Structure 1
Amino acid sequence: MEQIPLYQHIVNALKAQIESGELQIGDQLPTEAQISKTYNVSRITSKRALTELENANLIYRVQGKGSFVNAMQPSLQPNNKSSKEILLVLPFNHNPGLGDYEKGINEYLKTTDYTLNIQSSTIVSQHKLLEAALQSANSGLIFYPVNSISDLGMLYQYHMSKYPIVTMDKYIEGIPLPSVVSDNFAGGYLACSHLIENNHKKIAFLSSLKVENSSSIRERYFGYLKALYDYNLIDHSVSDLTERYLIHDNDNGREYYTHFIQSVMEQGITGIVAENDLIAIEIMQIAKELGLSIPDDFSIVGFDNIHLSSFVEPKLTTISQDFEQMGYLAAQNLVEIIENPQNQPQENIVVPVELIERQTVKRL
């Protein structure tokens, strides 16, 4: 995924404040110096951001006095869907491991007359972006939620107003918004059963988030449990460990993962199913620093098949998601909703996953 320029992040942040009403007509914007300090950028970058806002007719500038929100903002008229622009809201700026969503979306959009605009909730909150998008001229929204429980009131407004929206990666319980997700349940099952088929009996599941807060992680956890049940391998000592380490309130993730590894070794656990590749790779690194060897001391399976998973040593066995296909289907579904609002969209589209066998699972 191409990285968004620094000035564009500032443009998106200030634009969201204007569109949400946080900055109202006539309000003065921060100065170039204040923007530079707030976003830790150069004056050249902050000046470029203000120039872009001025060119978009969102602000006007008075020499010696500053920049002010413009009264003439045709783009802020609610529900004006004539722009033919699709908005993609992501919870990360640039993640080389999850980079093919945009590729898949653009692959579909090039067959239409719609274009793609990307915004990140790393500078402006997810709530502010959702609030602004609901009143914007975008034709529709592809939304990658931070989790499955945030901003439910705002998302219910999308549902009630029939705003064209498709969620990606996670679904929102209780609100019938169409979504495109990976088959996370099958992925959790595949990861755990792969360990079982290599004669592992005591297998733990590790997540950095509460499973009830994320539909994708919850489904992976349930798939893991189903495999244990199917093979009659439910071990209560492992279950207790997994329950303790499904979440952590300690901001020091390194300390948390170190304790987890120590518990794994103490309890004779030989296999770990990790929530995602980044956690699996961090566990591998800490284990190495503790003098442990993977897969000799314990085996581990990740989830996502990010690029880094094939470059670490040993190479990570993982579950591959088809990010490009997810993006393609999300765009296809959204355009169908925009063009044919009378048709009821398919609520959940589930994209298959695949086990990628590499070097982090040892046969016992």
Structure 2
Amino acid sequence: MNDNIIIFGLILSKKREVCGMNGNLLYQKIIDELRAEIESGALKTGDRIPTVNELRGRYEVSHITVLRAYRELQDAGFIVQQGKRYVVNTRENRQMKKNHNCIGLLVRPLWPYNDKDIYFNEINYGIQDECCISGINYLTPAAVRLLNQHVMVPLRVFEDIGRSAREIAGMVDGFLIDERLPDSFVAGLMEDTGKPCTVIDRLTTLPIDSVTPPNREAVRLLCSTALRYGYRKFIFVENGHRTSNMVARKEAFLDFIENNAVPSSDFRLIEDWSVKTAQESLGELDAAFSSLAKGEKTAVISSNDSYAREAYGFLFGKGLRPHLDFGVTGIDGLGTAYHPRPILTTVRTNTEEMGRMAVKSLLERIMKSPGAPATSLSPSPIFECGETL
């Protein structure tokens, strides 16, 4: 029987058809057989993998096919390169290598454009950009859309998202977690799935990685700038929500007061701004401003931009003079800091970079052994001079 076939006038052997025209089968065969030897223990940790020439001879393939098999095995964590040779990777590292080349996004999706607040949209842009650069796919359960509808997330939403996350757990190597999903949710997900997680936009009490705004750095930067500009009195406006970000900002302000020996007569705290009515909060600001000794400028350091905008409008409306009697700063650099005039002095958070950092952090965690120390990362603060300090 003739072992050759004719296609478009070319004579090919059946053997070469499998090797050349359907080469995927051959490189996959090399992968499958070497992987089986590693998993069975025939090839142990540190053992040398057959060389390119040895595998070329064994499978009658080109060196390109062998190199592709090497690359796939290395990407899957089964082998590592040592100099010019490849050896079997440790079992621990093999288990932590990415198998699916895909991560799960338990992050609120994009919402309609709003020029006052595109904070989490920009985080999403950064996530998508870094996934494309890194060649990583991502899956987003439809249930995460509910995170956009609730600041205080009800229990049923956690249950819906948790159920969806567990359904896709077998297709992903780890999860990015929205700040609105609590640590109890994350702990349960990790216990059930065994997948690493990185939390975005807040600190976590769990021994896992997180990416946060530069909270402390932002407050230190604003307070030290105010001091350089000649401000000697300080009022800190605190958000009523006791999130880790807001707690860190308040603590940074109190650290500044202590480190610069600011006497108690020269600073005030206004707490729970968002919890009270606008009339109550502005009344407290008026009382705090009036209680500070006259004759020196007072800097109002707000924990976010929207309260800074309200404080500036109120003090200006009372006839107080910007830069001479008072100055106001915000944090985050949201759209409300830039419109309307005057432009707020603020510290902008590079939210796209936060998204990119979160992806990089999770991918690095996937590659690490489980015992590697957890990290908390933040982008560098970006000072926006504005017109209000």
TM-score by length of 1: 0.65
In 1, distance between residues paired with 2:357 and 2:161? 21
* Aligned-partner Cα distance in 1 for 2:126–2:274: 36
CA distance in 2, matches of 1:228, 1:251: 25
State which of 149, 152, 160 in structure 2 corresponds to 1:123.
149
Q: Spell out, residue by residue over 1:74-125, the C-alpha distance to the aligned partner (whole angstroms, 9 max, x if none).
A: xxxxxxx969453242499556341310111011111324135363424363
Output aligned runs, 1:337-356, within 5 Å. 337-338=365-366, 342=370, 344=372, 346-356=374-384
Aligned residue among 187, 203, 228 for 1:156: 187
What is the aligned-residue RMSD (CA, Å)? 3.0
Q: Which string of whole-angstrom CA distances, capped at 9 and with x for unpartnered residues, describes residues 155-192 of structure 1?
A: 3313434333211121122x212101122111111111
Query: How many angstroms does 1:322 deviate by?
Result: 1.1
- Describe the shift of the 1:317–1:250 C-alpha distance in structure 2 as closer, same or farther (beyond 3 A): closer
8 Å CA contact 2:273–2:281 kept in 1: the answer is: no
> 1:131 offset after TM fit, Å?
3.0
Aligned to 1:224: 253
Q: Indicate conservation of the 8 Å contact 1:318/1:357, yes or no.
A: yes
Residues 35-78 of structure 1 show CA distances to partners (whole Å, capped at 9, x for unaligned) of: xxxxxxxxxxxxxxxxxxxxxxxxxxxxxxxxxxxxxxxxxxxx
What residue is the counterpart of 2:234 in the other structure? 203
Give the alignment partner of residue 114 of structure 1, picking from 123, 134, 137: 137
What is aligned with 2:361?
333
2:294 is equivalent to residue 262 of structure 1:
no
- Alignment correspondent of 1:176: 207
Amino acid at match of 1:104: G
Distance in 2, matches of 1:82 and 1:135, equals: 20
Give the Cα–Cα distance (whole angstroms) in 2 for the partners of residues 358 and 249 of structure 1: 24
Q: How much has 1:207 moved relative to structure 2?
A: 1.3
Shift, 1:127, TM fit:
4.0
- Shift of the 312–305 alpha-carbon distance from structure 1 to 2, 3 Å rule, reads same
Task: Structure 1 unaligned segments of length 5 or more: list them.
Answer: 1-80
C-alpha distance in 1 between matches for 2:202 and 2:348: 16
Which residue of 266, 269, 272 maps to 1:247? 272
What does residue 177 of structure 2 align with? 143
Call closer, same or farther: CA 1:177–1:238 in 2, change over 3 Å: farther
Cα 1:92–1:279, aligned 2, differ >3 Å: closer, same or farther? farther
Aligned-partner SS, 2:378: strand
Specify the alignment match of 1:236 in structure 2. 264
Trace 1:1-364 onto structure 2 (pairs within 5 A): 84=102, 86-90=104-108, 93=111, 96-98=117-119, 99-111=121-133, 112-115=135-138, 117=140, 119-123=145-149, 125=153, 127-136=155-164, 137-138=167-168, 139=172, 140-146=174-180, 151-161=182-192, 162-173=194-205, 175-209=206-240, 213-233=242-262, 235-237=263-265, 241-242=268-269, 245-247=270-272, 250-252=275-277, 254-268=278-292, 270-338=298-366, 342=370, 344=372, 346-361=374-389
User: 1:101 is matched by which residue type in structure 2?
Assistant: I
Q: 1:113 to 1:142 in 2, by over 3 A?
A: closer
Flag the 1:271–1:256 CA change in 2: closer, same or farther, 3 A: same
CA distance in 1, matches of 2:343, 2:149: 33
Flag the 1:176–1:158 CA change in 2: closer, same or farther, 3 A: farther
Alpha-carbon separation, structure 2, partners of 1:343 and 1:107 = 29
Provide the TM-score with structure 2 as the length reference.
0.61
Distance 1:324 1:123 in 2: 22
| Structure 1 residue 219, shift from structure 2 partner | 1.8
Structure 2 CA distance for partners of 1:180 and 1:292, relative to 1, 3 Å: same
Question: Aligned residues: percent identity?
Answer: 19
State the alpha-carbon separation in 1 of the partners of residues 372 and 107 from structure 2.
23
Partners of 1:178 and 1:131 in 2: CA distance: 23
Question: Separation in 2 of the partners of 1:276 and 1:91?
Answer: 23
User: In the superposition, relative to structure 1, how do residues 101 and 360 fare at CA in structure 2: closer, same or farther (>3 Å)?
Assistant: same
Return the letter of the residue paired with 2:129: E
Q: Does the 8 Å CA contact 1:333/1:345 hold for their aligned counterparts?
A: no
- Answer with 1 or 2: which has the greater Rg: 2
For 1:144, give the aligned amino acid: D
- Count of residues in Structure 1 that have an aligned counterpart in Structure 2: 270
| Structure 2 stretches lacking a partner, 5+ long | 1-98
Alignment partner of 1:87: what SS?
strand
* Displacement of 1:218: 1.9
- CA shift, 1:217, in A, is 1.6
User: 1:75 is matched with which residue?
Assistant: none
Once the two structures are overlaid, the 10-residue window that deviates more, 223-232 or 275-284, is 223-232
